[in-house]
Amino acid sequence: MRRVVVTGLGAVSPCGLTRDSNWAAITAGQSGTGLITRFETDGWRVRIAAEIKGFDPSVCIGRRDVRRMDLFTQYGMVAAHEAVCDAGLDPDAPLGESAGVYVGSGIGGINEIEQGAIAVNERGPRAVSAFFIPKSLSNLTGGHIAIRYGAMGPSLCISTACAVGNHSIGEAWRAIATGGADLIIAGGAEAPITPLSIAGFSVMRALSRHHDEPERASRPFDVERDGFVMGEGAGILILEDLDSAMARGARIYAEIIGYHNTTDAHHITAPPPGHAGAARCMAGALRSAGLGPESVDYINAHGTSTPQNDVHEAAAIHTVFGEHTSSIAVSSTKSMTGHLLGAAGGLEAVLSVLALHHGVIPPNATLKNVDPDIKLDLPKSARKADIKVALSNAFGFGGANATLIFRRWSG
């Protein structure tokens, strides 16, 4: 097994349009959630989302190509461009046959699908865009990234709902570790804030209705949490074989040392009591990393702000870490970014790596009153800490669980 390191990071989220602006907002506890402005919601049960403001895809995409991409692909392209440049790679030099792309999405081009359905019903089949199919397909973000950077190695688009990002990064780690590639661009992208998507999650009663405090609507682990806030964006990492990265003199952020995935086999949306699947997933990731529970310093929790997920994830953490649980700082950055669905794992992996790199634990920024059934160390403001190992969880509908473990790079 070859060692795999992180050499580049890119992020687009409701908290910022770059890696650095996201980190600054997150550590300052700034929320990206608010009332929906993208479409009219008068009379709707849910009127809150975490929208990206001021996004400009022209930083790396030509005007003609923008029209051929759904918004989720544009987010993924911009985050990938930042990650490629951050890794010290020449964005205009083909990466070649030893480089791959593992970028997935939970929903894909839902905006294009929604608009296409309206067009065909109102104006007939000729009203549908010639780019309807390529704009809709989930794997086209990875396809566009591969074309742009000449990555001709392995390509994979995973779609496991909200676990997409972690699965993509974990499988990329596995591919590099076993010699299938030297470099992989990995993560997730999502743009689900549309009338149909909001309405669909709303009727499931999965979304928050704290309209009186929209900036605090996403409140993981709080006793008054009532659902998640839908967000959007992309999180992309450049993963490389350690020897290859060192040979080209790359700056290394962290090493990815563990990954595991499990399935609950319990319910299409709800976790089992105590979240046994998540516990098995975290325990498996620790085994793959060759670590004991006492080695973990920080957990970036899935922490969706839903009544069931948060309490069951906390129970799973106690199951795995036992008496060491009180020594682990836990935070959900969804308190600020909202839930990016298929992009959540990618963004949270970026933030976990930055937490290691800077020695700062992100806050649970909207937390006021901790649920008495949740007994974790939950910092309400950013905390300086000597973090050596960080674990990041992602869980998705259908019972999909994925856990990543990163170690601070010390040279």
Q: Which residues are catalytic?
A: 162, 302, 339
Structure tokens at 249: 């003199």
Helices (H), 322-365: 334-337, 344-358
Instruction: Tokens 């990731």: give the residue.
Output: 285
Beta strands in 278-345 (DSSP E): 298-300, 329-331
Three-state DSSP at 27 gives helix
* Amino acid letter for position 190: E
Structure tokens at 333: 């950055």
127 contacts: CB under 8 Å, gap ≥ 6: 119, 120
Half-sphere exposure of 244 (CA within 13 A, CB side): 23
Three-state DSSP at 228 gives strand
Whether the CB-CB separation of 7 and 253 falls below 8 Å is answered with: yes
Structure tokens at 79: 């985050």
Q: Measure the CA–CA gap between 270 and 341, rounded to whole angstroms.
A: 16
Nearest to 32 by CA among 284, 232, 298: 232
Whether the CB-CB separation of 33 and 230 falls below 8 Å is answered with: no
Q: Kindly write down the DSSP assignment for every residue of 39-53, as one continuous string.
A: S--TT-S--EEB---
Half-sphere exposure of 117 (CA within 13 A, CB side): 8
Whether the CB-CB separation of 336 and 303 falls below 8 Å is answered with: no
Q: Measure the CA–CA gap between 292 and 97, rounded to whole angstroms.
A: 37
> 351 to each of 103, 107, 129, 299, 326, how far by Cα in Å?
17, 23, 37, 11, 22
Three-state DSSP at 97 gives coil
